[in-house]
Amino acid sequence: MRRGAIFAGLFLALAGCATPVPPLRLPAAAVGQAQDPLEAALRGAAAAFASPGSLRGQPARAALAVAQLEFLAVEIPAGRSSREFGSLAAPGLQAARYEVRGTLGIPSDAPPQAVINALTAAAAAPGAEAAAAQLPPALFPAGGAETWRRLATLPRLPQANAATQRALRQWEFGPPQELIDLGV
C-alpha cells in the first residue's frame, strides 16, 4: 500500500514538471475563410485524405493537408478545443501524423510548428522550385524537390483517412454515445 502511494506521488510530481505543449498556429493559407482553425483543419484534412486521387499532381493541396494534420495531431490531444472528442481521436491523429511523416521522410522529432510553417510556405510558393526551397533539409532530409515530388504522388494513407474522418465526425456530432456511457 505504502509503495503504491510513493509511486503515485512520484508520478504526480513528475507529471507536474512536464511543460505543456505551446499552442500551434495554423497559417491563413491552411485556414481559408473559416472562423475556427481547428474546424478548417478537420474539414480540409478529412477531405484530402479521404480522396488521395484528388491530390495527385497537386502538391500544394497535399502540403496544406499535411500541415492541417500536424496541427490537429497536437491541438486535439492538448484539449484546446471547445468541442469534446472521444478517447480514440487523439491517438488516431498522432498515429496518422506518424504515418504521413514516414511517407514524406519527416523526422519524428521535427517541431510541428516548423513543419506546418514550411509546408504552408511551400504551398503558397509560385512553382515547384520555389516550393522546394521552402522545405529545409533539417525538416525534410530527402530534400525539398524530393519531398515536393512525394507530395504530388501521395499514396493512400489509411491511418490519416480514418483518423481525420473520426475526428471530423466527433467534431460534428460529439463522441460516440458508447464511449460517453463508459466514461472513456
What are the strands, taking DSSP E only, across the chain? Answer: none
Question: 153 with 166: CB under 8 angstroms?
Answer: no
75 vs 71: CA distance, rounded Å: 6
H-assigned helices in 18-88: 28-31, 37-50, 59-75
pLDDT value for 31: 80
> Rounded to the nearest 10 degrees, how much is the dihedral formed by the CA atoms of 53, 56, 62, 66?
60
- pLDDT-derived band of residue 179, with 50, 70 and 90 as boundaries? low
- Measured between alpha carbons, how far apart are the two ends of the chain, in Å? 27
Interatomic CA distance for residues 104 and 132, integer angstroms: 13
Show the CA angle centred on residue 90, arms to residues 88 and 96, nearest 5°. 100
pTM summary value: 0.84
Across 33-47, 85-99, 113-127, 164-178, the highest mean pLDDT is recorded for 113-127
Could you report the per-residue pLDDT of 97-139, keeping only the tens digit for each? 999 999 999 999 999 999 999 999 999 999 999 999 999 999 9
- Grid coordinates of 150: 512525394
Q: What tens digit of pLDDT does each residue of 18-27 get?
A: 566 788 888 8
How does residue 1 score in pLDDT terms, banded at 50, 70 and 90?
very low
Residue whose C-alpha cell is 480514418: 162
